Amino acid sequence: MKILFLLPPSEGKNPNLSDYTTPAPSLVKRGITELLSFSFEKPIDIAMSATEKDLKCKWLRYREGMGLNHSLISLWVQRGSPKYEGEGFGNNNPPISSCTTRKLYMSAIERYSGVMYDAIDYRGMSVSAQKFFSEHFLILSGMYGILRPDDMIGNYKLPIETKGLYQFWWDVIPEAISELQADYIINLLPLSYAKLIWLWTDCNRHKKKLIPILESGAKIININFLKSDGTKISHGVKKIKGQWVHDMCEKLAVSWSFTKASVFAILGWEIVEGDNSIDVNIVG
């Protein structure tokens, strides 16, 4: 049985490491080469025309975010991947600064910071749990599409709600996930990212259609974190979700048979078959 977990990225990201910074811990994977598990066209035009509303920040913070995008994309252009034929990277954006190999890439699990990723505590996992996390978790990204935790990525700022991003990724991400032929997909995404795996909208007819993941035969398990009274947890859910991911990796890492019965027994779930999607409620 093949099982995949889907995570969102974090809005906050750890900064680029360079020769001028304090050496990183040995667990931090870094380098001067971008290494990706999935080869997608990047949303260059969208990233370069993002507004303050898109990036959810103003003034200096906005310029800093756009500067990150400019630096990353200029490296792509300089290295010929992807090729960009435009005359510029947007009319109202700051100029691109020169990029050097000192602007290093970091593994996605080290790049992303914030409450959920702190609670996942990848460095604090056992070696077998880290291996499980790297092999069975995918991270959806507005800039990169889909990432594996060990993929080497640059620093950027591009929320999925940025104008045009849903339309850019709606076909690409579902198709790529369906090609992985998972039996079960554990959905840990917030609604803003879950839209990418559930439904897409025909912009001309405004009709919703099921995406290819369900056509591939995969079942989507939606994880809901609830209070004791049955209502969804809103405050503090990122930390709870991260701790749950950490614990599940430790538990599932010890069972490599991966039969349906063994996995669900470890998770403590009773799954009723039949529907393409299943809700699992976890009371915290």
**pLDDT for the residue 261:** 65
Identity of the residue numbered 20: Y
Question: Are the C-beta atoms of residues 72 and 84 closer than 8 Å to each other?
Answer: no
pLDDT bucket at 215, cuts 50 / 70 / 90: confident
**pLDDT for the residue 33:** 81
Average pLDDT, the chain: 81
The whole-number average pLDDT for the span 115-120 is 97
Over residues 28-65, the pLDDT tens digits come to 566 678 899 999 999 999 999 999 999 999 999 999 99
Give the count of domains, the chain: 1
The whole-number average pLDDT for the span 237-258 is 87
Lowest mean pLDDT among 70-79, 153-162, 208-217: 208-217
**pLDDT for the residue 205:** 42
Please state, in angstroms and as integers, the Cα–Cα distance from residue 282 to each residue in 1, 119, 129, 176, 268, following that order: 23, 17, 21, 29, 10
**pLDDT of residue 111 exceeding 90:** yes
Q: In what order do the strands lie in the sheet with 105-107?
A: 30-31, 105-107, 152-153
Full residue range of the structural domain in which residue 257 is found: 3-283
Q: Which of 136, 122, 147 is nearest to 184 (CA)?
A: 136
Over residues 171-199, the pLDDT tens digits come to 899 999 999 999 889 999 999 999 888 75
% of the chain with per-residue pLDDT over 90: 51
pTM (two decimals): 0.85
**pLDDT for the residue 65:** 95
Question: Are the C-beta atoms of residues 146 and 176 closer than 8 Å to each other?
Answer: yes
The whole-number average pLDDT for the span 15-31 is 53
Question: Are the C-beta atoms of residues 110 and 10 closer than 8 Å to each other?
Answer: no
**pLDDT of residue 89 exceeding 90:** no
Q: Which two tokens stand for residue 75?
A: 């490296």
State whether the Cα torsion 186-122-161-169 is positive or negative: negative
Question: Which residue did the predictor score with more confidence, 283 or 263?
Answer: 283
**pLDDT for the residue 233:** 87
**pLDDT for the residue 100:** 41
Lowest mean pLDDT among 27-41, 117-131, 265-279: 265-279
Match 């009319």 to its residue by tokens: 91
